[in-house]
Structure 1
Amino acid sequence: MGCRCVVLPIQAGLVFPRSGWPLHITLVRFDTRETAEAVRSRLDGVLPAQLGFGVPIGTDALFGRDGSVPVSLVELEPTLQLLHEATLEALGPRVHLPGARHNRSNYRPHVTHAGERLRPGDKVRIRQAALVDMRPDGEPRLRRVLAVWEPG
């Protein structure tokens, strides 16, 4: 599963291919054996109160093991960093963080270029966060939006 800040509006229930992500900023990538409802209930107390802020888009970069994934970096934004850390705290010790080295002080928020892209200097308003199943029904080629939060 994962928790993402969504750049363009989406709805719970949306299913899309792994290669067809809507523009988003990953808050936390995690795995868990818990139900989506259990995870959602913990995030309900954190996400709505902290959404609705803006972030500036910075320069382009290349991510991934071989540097082949083009991204737009998100410039340092204290509110986004606080949201990332609050999400980690709400998830707690019952989740596994496969990218643990990319969290807390090493968090590098970015938007992956996937058909659409953002440009340096763009400003994005963070109006939604989403809980996404990375293997719905055991299918690694699909993603499913399980829950969406908006500012509360």
Structure 2
Amino acid sequence: MIVPRYRITASAIPGAGKGLFLDEAVAAGRIVTAPDAIDRTHRWDEILASPSLSADLHAAARWFEDRYTVSPEWPDECYVNHSFEPTGLWHLGFIFAARDLVQGDEITVDYRHLLAPGQEESFYDAASGEKITGLSWHESLTRSTRALAALLG
């Protein structure tokens, strides 16, 4: 579920296709998206072992520990693009505004939090040219918890 008003249009990130843009300001630390309709999670090894789930590997996102959703029918949340300097902070399936955001800002997150540990994205970070490789659960949770605590003061 996307909380603020938004629109989907061409991303400013080279090669990204469409992006999710705010139609209103959002203060730092406020929720931009929240999980909804998550009816089943899978362990990473289950996804890799299942032909039907692994066929939709591009639509897998880590929520917690070794539990992922595989949702190729995701609605507009799938237009949140990657950045190593994101406007949104991914934490346990929520996206929080990583700073004060203004109308017209594109919502981005660091995909390393959504990928399996060591999993490499099929594309590189547009700004730096660096590989996007999934973090361990411990590192992801540590980084996102510290970042959220700093946002909330």
Structure with higher helix content: 1
Query: Structures share a fold, TM > 0.5?
Result: no
Q: Relative contact order: is structure 1 or structure 2 higher (C-alpha 8 Å, sep ≥ 6)?
A: 1
* Length-normalised TM-score, structure 1: 0.24
* Length-normalised TM-score, structure 2: 0.24
Structure with higher strand content: 1
